[in-house]
């Protein structure tokens, strides 16, 4: 079997369902990838993550290069064996760290030099080294190294970065060996539509297995982000998956599926869980709020997750306020279940040609919830 194939199985308005075949099995799209940066979705076992409905998870090459080291992982049978996850894995390249750790890195034509955020040791990333590291990890979907510019970056800076990204992508593709997984190119260009179109043209000239929209949700206005996606996604080949990097707000997932996006990842559900914020059909529920101190209800009556079946808001608030480790687990179970079930609902709606009806119902419910939050306690 090839590294990756993709076919569209249903359409509704601008949304689509697809079947993505990877080396380790099929993935139904649109799909949300729980983030396991360091080979772990925080607080949960791989069996629990799969039980919540996840088919594909994400890990980060930069962090795994730092510890325990990709050679260590390879020596222990590869990333799947190392972390006990049997399904497909996508590995990010470290391009986001070029943005998030900008104070610790130096960028040049050949690659990026980092001072490790752990111990200050010098670390060098090049397009070739990043592909080699992902091949050592034995990931199924690999990302090219690129630069994720900050929001508001000057047009001239973006033009230079795009030209370098194109050269890096070609080098990454040339460096992939026969054993390497699928390789996805990344479209950048900030909020400039013509630069995005130029990036699409250069990345589509390469024989990539799929394409990602990068450099979004990094501080630009939400309206700008949506307009960029709406204008850029249709320019990409229809027979390959489109991945929107780093976006996971439920409302954004619904909107972006309607714009033709197939794949998503974000730390939002798990990070919010650890901060005491739970996702519901009516919006966010903040466990710090004193109104939940003696509330016997589950987080959400209609939710079928383990947390909602067994525990009250009052108990979850108690655990969070007491900083009990069980709080992080139960909250994470709920938030990931919510997001994964939202994606499953979107897939069902698309198959029934009812995406627009689904989206209207979703946003109507959110508005009702905002109205309730505005009421006095």
Residue among 92, 138, 140, 262 flagged as catalytic:
92
> What is the C-alpha separation between 373 and 119, in angstroms, rounded?
45
Cα 342 to Cα 71, 115, 120, 354: the distances in Å are 37, 39, 41, 14
Residue closest to 238 by CA, chosen among 29, 12, 16: 16
- Cβ contact 141:181 at 8 Å: yes
- DSSP state, residue 35: B
Cα separation of 209 and 172, whole Å?
Answer: 13
Measure the CA–CA gap between 130 and 92, rounded to whole angstroms. Answer: 9
Backbone angles phi, psi at 284, to 5 degrees: -90, 140
92: annotated active-site residue: yes
Token pair 């955020």 is found at 117
Q: Please name the residue that has the structure tokens 């060996």.
A: 177
Residue 162, classed as helix, strand or coil, is: helix
Q: Of 119, 265, 294, 295, which one is the catalytic site residue? A: 265
- Rounded Cα–Cα distance for residues 160 and 284 (Å): 40
> HSE of 280 in the Cβ direction (CA atoms, 13 Å)?
24
Q: Is 265 tagged catalytic?
A: yes
- And the tokens for 13? 């308005």
Give SS3 for 367: helix
Pinpoint the alpha helices (H) of 68-216.
Answer: 70-75, 79-83, 95-100, 127-137, 155-175, 193-204
Catalytic residue ranges: 92, 265
């Amino acid at each position: 079997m090839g590294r990756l194939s993709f076919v569209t199985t249903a359409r509704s308005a601008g949304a689509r369902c697809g079947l993505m075949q990877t080396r380790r099995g099929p993935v139904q799209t649109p799909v949300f990838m729980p983030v396991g940066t360091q080979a772990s979705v925080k607080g949960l076992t791989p069996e629990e993550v799969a039980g919540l409905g996840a088919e594909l998870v994400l890990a980060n090459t930069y962090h795994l290069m730092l510890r325990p080291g990709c050679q260590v992982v390879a020596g222990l049978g590869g990333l799947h064996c190392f972390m006990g996850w049997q399904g497909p894995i996508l590995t990010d390249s470290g391009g986001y760290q070029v943005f998030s750790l900008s104070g610790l890195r130096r960028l040049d034509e050949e690659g990026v030099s980092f001072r490790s955020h752990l111990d200050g040791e010098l670390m060098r990333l090049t397009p070739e080294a990043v592909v080699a590291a992902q091949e050592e990890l034995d990931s199924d979907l690999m990302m090219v190294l690129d630069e994720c510019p900050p929001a508001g970056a000057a047009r001239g800076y973006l033009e230079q970065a795009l030209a370098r990204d194109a050269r890096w992508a070609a080098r990454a593709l040339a460096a992939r060996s026969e054993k390497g997984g699928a390789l996805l190119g990344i479209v950048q260009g900030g909020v400039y539509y013509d630069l995005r179109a130029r990036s699409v043209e250069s990345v589509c000239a390469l024989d990539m297995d799929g394409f990602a929209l990068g450099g979004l949700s990094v501080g630009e206005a939400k309206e700008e982000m949506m307009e960029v996606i709406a204008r850029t996604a249709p320019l990409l080949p229809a027979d390959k998956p489109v991945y929107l990097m780093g976006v996971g707000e439920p409302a954004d997932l619904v909107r972006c599926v309607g714009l033709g996006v197939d794949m998503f990842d974000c730390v939002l559900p798990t990070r919010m869980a650890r901060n005491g914020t739970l996702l519901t059909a009516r919006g966010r529920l903040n466990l710090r709020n004193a109104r939940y101190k003696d509330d016997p209800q589950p987080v959400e009556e209609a939710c079928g997750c383990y947390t909602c079946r067994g525990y009250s808001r009052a108990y979850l608030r108690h655990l969070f306020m007491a900083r009990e480790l069980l709080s992080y687990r139960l909250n994470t179970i709920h938030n990931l279940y919510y997001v994964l079930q939202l994606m499953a609902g979107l897939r069902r709606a698309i198959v029934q040609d009812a995406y627009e009806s689904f989206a209207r119902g979703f946003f109507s419910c959110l508005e009702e919830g905002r109205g309730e939050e505005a009421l006095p306690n």
